[in-house]
């Protein structure tokens, strides 16, 4: 008999809820977490300025009515310490820690057909067997660590955004380099600009950033709490897992210029990622996309004093929203500071890190601190970092040309192994807490169904999986996603196959598909 009914890997938003839900259903479940405490993303990413870019009222659990009534978010977009405090509070409130093993990384998972169970081997050599495994390992938890020649020779401090020193880093008055201008870079650059002595930003691709319009939300939150459940229900049926209001109709419906302009202005003024839902077909229609992109480009040029710097910061080579947009609080204005410089690494490539700084092009720039905000091996990275095998087949081999899943929940040939917000589910294209709850609840219901029917094994049919892979690829092909070399497509990791990693059909549509599969007795799955 296996040690546990269910092994959950990871103690972030996903793993914590999964443990609670399974306990409620009477399963014997355990979490194994590589880090020293709960929080996942919000434990690791402690860099200055880290905060969510989905509004906290939605970027939070909905499953516990009292929790959402009692918890008070201070700001529209909570900062990392507040989100971490929330997850710690949830762990305490639900008494989750007693079933979590910290500081332990799962290194391999081997499926045993005789017993229908998985055996996990951890970094310290211990083993745990479980009938089912839920990989709550995170979509953005495997850091991308480009090998810059000479990094080890640098005599100053090196900090990665995803592993920021727990006690903070001393940047006051220092000469600081930042490599990377995605969300982590944008937030870090903005937050440290007031304290550094000088800062040089090394940019490879400029980002489209829209303002956060962050603010305290005391009164808004009190009002929302009078109808919070309606808001949550709307979130689950929405495109992105957070209600953004009605978007403009598809672009081909001959929208007039005044209406387009006012829609973009209102959404930009409101702040946040709902900007990318200005038009229903913003990610499908090149003309619609171009209008929104041009609008943001014009705002950048208004914010940056030096036209040459503004031009460098202006994205022109890929459609807006085809790469994850950033939500900023004064990012562009940082470049108006006299002590801030911007280097385009396409013009001046980073040749190597030297003991004193960075050699870019022919110039050595001297620094006290180098900050790396270079991103993640997204969606598949954390899963493929584990040696997952069933007989002669490994998940890594199976996914060598790109992930193959049924519904982003399971992969054929790997029975009893579920992924939360796995590849080919909406996941990173949505408010992830909404998508996490959807998956946790679906997985839990499936396990309950198996238990009630005396079954011990669930696995997708190959045909159902092939169909889903084609569906997700076809859906992505109908969008502009492929036109950006982004982590959505695996393009940021050298050698990673290009494939659309998330399902682009939207949260509401996806939820209905999942419901339909469950209602029909788990259509497309083989249950034994
Ligand atoms: P994680 O929080 O990534 O947790 C996974 C855990 O699994 C980690 O603690 C990791 O240590 C552990 N783990 C992984 N592999 C193993 C292993 N082999 N053995 C043991 N443990 C393992 N999403 C949004 O929707 N809105 C936002 O505003 C937003 N902001 C973000 C900001 C940052 C800086 C980052 C990096 C991501 C952000 N995301 C955001 C995405 C975010 O990752 C998810 O919203 C959510 O936190 C994911 O929760 P999770 O539990 O699925 O994964
Ligand atoms: O990572 P990224 P991130 N030389 O991949 C550059 C979520 N998140 O950690 O664009 C030089 O976006 C790289 O350049 P390029 C959110 O989903 C949310 O910032 O590949 N540069 C890019 O500029 C987000 O999308 C928040 O050309 C190199 C940067 O490093 C996701 O996490 C905050 C390089 C990496 O950007 C990932 O964001 C933080 C090299 N060798 C994260 N290698 C919120 O605001 C990489 N780069 C909620």
pLDDT of residue 254: 75
User: Is residue 167 situated within a structural domain?
Assistant: no
pLDDT of residue 255: 79
User: Is residue 433 situated within a structural domain?
Assistant: yes
* pLDDT average, residue stretch 46-75: 98
**Best of 331, 375, 485, 498 for a ligand 2 pocket test (most atoms within 8 Å of beta carbon):** 375
Residue with the smallest CA separation from ligand 1 atom 51 is: 12
Any atom of ligand 2 within 6 Å of the Cβ of 135: no
* pLDDT average, residue stretch 261-269: 94
Residue with the smallest CA separation from ligand 2 atom 41 is: 146
**Best of 56, 105, 141, 274 for a ligand 1 pocket test (most atoms within 8 Å of beta carbon):** 141
User: Is residue 308 situated within a structural domain?
Assistant: no
Separation of 79 CA from ligand 1 center, angstroms? 15
Residue 205: is its pLDDT beyond 80?
yes
Q: Of ligand 2's atoms, which has the minimum distance to the CA of residue 54?
A: 48
The pLDDT confidence band at residue 251, using thresholds 50, 70 and 90, is confident
Residue 259: is its pLDDT beyond 90?
no
Output b/e per residue, 53-65; b: 16+ Cβ within 10 A.
bbbbbbbbbbebe
* pLDDT average, residue stretch 27-44: 98
Ligand at minimal distance from the CA of 421 is 1
From 53-67, 157-171, 199-213, 253-267, the region with the lowest mean pLDDT: 253-267
Cβ neighbour number for residue 345 with a 10 Å cutoff: 15
User: Is residue 179 situated within a structural domain?
Assistant: no
pLDDT of residue 145: 93
Any atom of ligand 2 within 6 Å of the Cβ of 460: no
pLDDT of residue 265: 96
Residue of 97, 127, 90, 89 lying closest to 109 (CA atoms) = 127
* pLDDT average, residue stretch 461-468: 98
What tens digit of pLDDT does each residue of 366-415 get? 999 999 999 999 999 999 999 999 999 999 999 999 999 999 999 999 99
Partner residues linked to 26 by β-bridges = none
Enter the tokens of residue 9: 């890997």
Enter the tokens of residue 321: 């929203």
What tens digit of pLDDT does each residue of 413-424 get? 999 999 999 999
Instruction: Assess contact for 360 and 350: CB atoms under 8 A.
Output: yes
Which H or E element spans position 286? helix 286-303
Q: What is the number of structural domains in the chain?
A: 1
Any atom of ligand 2 within 6 Å of the Cβ of 277: no
pLDDT of residue 248: 78
User: Is residue 391 situated within a structural domain?
Assistant: yes
What average pLDDT is seen over the chain?
A: 97
The reply to whether ipTM tops 0.90 is yes
Residue 194: is its pLDDT beyond 90?
yes
How far is 409 from 18, CA to CA, in rounded Å?
14
Range of 416's domain? 4-38+96-143+377-522
Residue 252: is its pLDDT beyond 90?
no
Instruction: Assess contact for 343 and 189: CB atoms under 8 A.
Output: no
User: Is residue 357 situated within a structural domain?
Assistant: no
How far is 413 from 76, CA to CA, in rounded Å?
43
* pLDDT average, residue stretch 308-328: 98
Residue 256: is its pLDDT beyond 90?
no
pLDDT of residue 173: 98
Ligand at minimal distance from the CA of 321 is 2
Residue of 114, 142, 128, 127 lying closest to 390 (CA atoms) = 114
* pLDDT average, residue stretch 223-250: 93
The pLDDT confidence band at residue 247, using thresholds 50, 70 and 90, is confident
Residue of 376, 291, 282, 275 lying closest to 327 (CA atoms) = 275
Separation of 115 CA from ligand 1 center, angstroms? 31
pLDDT of residue 179: 98
Cβ neighbour number for residue 509 with a 10 Å cutoff: 15
Separation of 139 CA from ligand 1 center, angstroms? 6
pLDDT of residue 481: 96
Q: What's the CATH number where 446 sits? A: 3.50.50.60
Between the alpha carbon of residue 353 and those of residues 48, 59, 163, the distances in Å are 23, 38, 20
What percent of the chain clears pLDDT 70, i.e. is strictly above it? 100
Any atom of ligand 2 within 6 Å of the Cβ of 14: no
Separation of 434 CA from ligand 1 center, angstroms? 14
What percent of the chain clears pLDDT 90, i.e. is strictly above it? 96
* pLDDT average, residue stretch 216-245: 96
The pLDDT confidence band at residue 330, using thresholds 50, 70 and 90, is very high
Instruction: Assess contact for 27 and 131: CB atoms under 8 A.
Output: no
User: Is residue 465 situated within a structural domain?
Assistant: yes
Q: Of ligand 2's atoms, which has the minimum distance to the CA of residue 374?
A: 30
257 or 328: whose pLDDT is higher?
328
Q: Of ligand 2's atoms, which has the minimum distance to the CA of residue 326?
A: 45
The pLDDT confidence band at residue 311, using thresholds 50, 70 and 90, is very high
* pLDDT average, residue stretch 266-274: 96
* pLDDT average, residue stretch 20-25: 98
pLDDT of residue 484: 97
pLDDT of residue 249: 80
pTM of the predicted model, to two decimals?
0.98
pLDDT of residue 511: 97
Residue with the smallest CA separation from ligand 2 atom 1 is: 375
Residues flanking ligand 1, CB < 6 Å: 9-15, 32-35, 40-41, 45, 50, 52-54, 59, 105-106, 136-141, 184, 382, 386, 420-421, 431-432, 436
User: Is residue 390 situated within a structural domain?
Assistant: yes
Ligand at minimal distance from the CA of 318 is 2
Residue 253: is its pLDDT beyond 80?
no
* pLDDT average, residue stretch 452-457: 98
pLDDT of residue 6: 98
Cβ partners under 8 Å of residue 154, min gap 6:
353, 354, 355, 356, 357, 370
pLDDT of residue 26: 98
Q: Of ligand 1's atoms, which has the minimum distance to the CA of residue 45?
A: 34
Instruction: Assess contact for 473 and 504: CB atoms under 8 A.
Output: no
**Best of 76, 164, 182, 495 for a ligand 2 pocket test (most atoms within 8 Å of beta carbon):** 182
């Amino acid at each position: 008999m296996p040690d546990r009914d269910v092994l959950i890997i990871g103690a972030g938003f996903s793993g914590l809820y999964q443990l609670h839900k399974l306990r409620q259903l009477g399963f014997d479940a355990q979490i194994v977490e590589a880090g020293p405490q709960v929080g996942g993303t919000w434990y690791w990413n402690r860099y200055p300025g880290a905060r969510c870019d989905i509004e906290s009222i939605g970027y939070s659990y909905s499953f516990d009515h009292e929790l959402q009534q009692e918890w008070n978010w201070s700001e529209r977009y909570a900062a990392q310490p507040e989100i971490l405090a929330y997850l710690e509070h949830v762990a305490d409130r639900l008494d989750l820690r007693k079933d979590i093993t910290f500081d332990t990384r799962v290194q391999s998972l081997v499926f045993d057909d005789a017993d229908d169970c998985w055996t996990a081997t951890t970094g310290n050599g211990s083993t745990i067997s479980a009938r089912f495994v839920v990989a709550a390992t995170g979509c953005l938890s495997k850091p991308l660590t480009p090998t810059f020649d000479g990094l080890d020779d640098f005599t100053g401090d090196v900090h990665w955004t995803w592993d920021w020193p727990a006690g903070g880093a001393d940047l006051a008055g220092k000469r600081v380099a930042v490599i990377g201008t995605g969300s982590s870079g944008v937030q870090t650059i903005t937050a440290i600009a007031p304290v550094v002595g000088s800062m040089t930003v090394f940019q490879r691709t400029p980002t489209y950033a829209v303002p956060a319009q962050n603010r305290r939300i005391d009164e808004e939150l009190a009002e929302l709490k009078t109808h919070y459940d309606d808001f949550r229900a709307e979130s689950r049926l929405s495109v992105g897992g957070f209600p953004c209001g009605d978007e403009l109709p598809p672009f081909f419906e001959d929208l007039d210029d005044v209406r387009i302009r006012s829609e973009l202005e209102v959404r930009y003024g409101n702040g946040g990622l709902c900007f990318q839902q200005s038009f229903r077909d913003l990610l499908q229609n090149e003309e619609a996309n171009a209008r929104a992109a041009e609008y943001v480009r014009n705002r950048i040029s208004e914010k940056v004093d030096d036209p040459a710097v503004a031009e460098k910061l202006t994205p022109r080579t890929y459609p807006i929203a085809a790469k994850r947009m950033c939500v900023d609080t004064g990012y562009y204005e940082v470049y108006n500071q006299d002590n801030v410089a911007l280097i385009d690494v396409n013009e001046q490539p980073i040749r190597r890190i030297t003991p004193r700084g960075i050699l870019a092009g022919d110039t050595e720039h001297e620094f006290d601190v180098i900050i790396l905000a270079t991103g993640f091996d997204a969606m598949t990275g954390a899963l493929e970092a584990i040696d997952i095998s069933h007989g002669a087949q490994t998940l890594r081999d199976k996914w060598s040309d790109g992930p193959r899943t049924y519904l982003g929940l399971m992969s054929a040939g790997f029975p009893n192994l579920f992924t939360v917000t796995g590849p080919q589910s909406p996941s990173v294209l949505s408010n992830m807490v909404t998508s996490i709850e959807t998956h946790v609840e679906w997985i839990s219901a499936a396990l309950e169904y198996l238990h009630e029917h005396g079954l011990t094994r669930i696995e997708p049919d190959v045909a159902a999986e092939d169909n889903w892979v084609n569906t997700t690829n076809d859906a992505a092909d109908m969008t502009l996603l492929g036109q950006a070399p982004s982590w959505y497509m695996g393009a940021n990791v050298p050698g990673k196959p290009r494939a659309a990693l998330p399902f682009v059909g939207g949260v509401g549509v996806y939820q209905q598909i999942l419901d339909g599969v469950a209602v029909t007795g788990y259509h497309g799955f083989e249950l034994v």
